[in-house]
Amino acid sequence: MAKFTRILSLDGGGLRGIISAEVLKYVEQKLQDFTGNLDARIADYFDLIAGTSVGGILTALYLCPYLENPLRPRCSAQEVYDFFRYKSSQIFDPISKNSLPVLGELFDEKYSYHKFDQIMGDFFQDLKLSELLKPCLITSYEIEKRKSQFFTQHDAILDPKNDYFIRDVLRATSAAPTLFEVAQIKAMNQDVYTCIDGGVFANNPALCAYAEARHKFNRDFNLDNRYEKGPTAKQMVVLSLGTGVVKKKYPYEEAKNWGKLQWLEPLFDIIMTGGAETVDYQMQQIFDTTEHPENYLRINTVLESRKTLKMDDCSEANLNEIAKLGQQLTEENRQRLDQWIQLLLL
């Protein structure tokens, strides 16, 4: 058994999830280099993976079992990257608007969920949350019950009321307001849930993952029998991957007279960015109380001067720019990643 409880956290961010997938290609390659095992996969070296929105999609892809051998991952990190990179233009397929386009976007979602459902259904078929290879946490928000919704593989194994088709979980975590229609899904016991994108409250799910491990990685849940009450920060290593922080500035002279309509986009941007930054701050403070604060590693970048990196622009130019940024971010953090990856092997 590994020395630490090993956690991977994947932010939301639409198409910018390509950045996280690029970093994890490097992580998997280094795991193969360090171990000499060419079959080493991301799922082999993490005990819990948490994801929001696109991070939830990536989580399911890394933990999806191979049909011929359900104990092994179906995809390498390169295959996960390729799937998301080349299916994204189909996922973000705009709804045809016959009326004025601006008014259309005000009163209807921007993209059809049908293509999303088709792509995820074709890949995952009837795979259930309980059938993923490792414990995971995928976020969403239930708007009828007004509560956060956490889809967890380890709870799904214990009770069908916590189990769902993976394709439905991914619809729920990705149902971003204004972009996709609200998701209505059923659990295996036929309970109905009405969900929107988990990014509205946990675009950075690292603290959710930390709390989940503290609570459930213990003897009671049979996830880690070493702990009676769950591991503390000093017994964890956490890799948290962001999808880029958009630091667009809003000058006082512009913002002081904004009404509801003008505030809509800036407010969403500020809430998403501020929430993710707050989680990073909280995680840093938690791990700073330990002897090895470097066991928590956050990899992210500022997109302040980049105008093209929209989370739903699937033009080839934008996708190439995002991929390039992921490569640059990986290269800039190569030394930090190499040191942290060694912790996975202890």
- The residues assigned a catalytic role are 53, 197
Residue pair 245/303 in contact (Cβ under 8 Å)? The answer is yes
In Å, how far from its chain's centre is CA 275?
A: 15
The number of helix segments (H) and strand segments (E) in the chain equals: 13, 8
Residue pair 31/45 in contact (Cβ under 8 Å)? The answer is yes
User: At 229, which amino acid appears?
Assistant: K
Residue pair 132/64 in contact (Cβ under 8 Å)? The answer is yes
In sequence order, which residues have a C-beta less than 8 Å from that of residue 330 and are 6 or more positions away? 22, 23, 25, 26, 337
Residue 116: Cβ within 10 Å count: 24
In sequence order, which residues have a C-beta less than 8 Å from that of residue 165 and are 6 or more positions away? 124, 126, 127, 128, 129, 185
Cα separation of 208 and 214, whole Å? 10
Residue with tokens 């849930």: 193
Q: Which of 57, 54, 31 is CA-nearest to residue 44?
A: 31
Residue pair 52/173 in contact (Cβ under 8 Å)? The answer is yes
Cα separation of 181 and 323, whole Å? 28
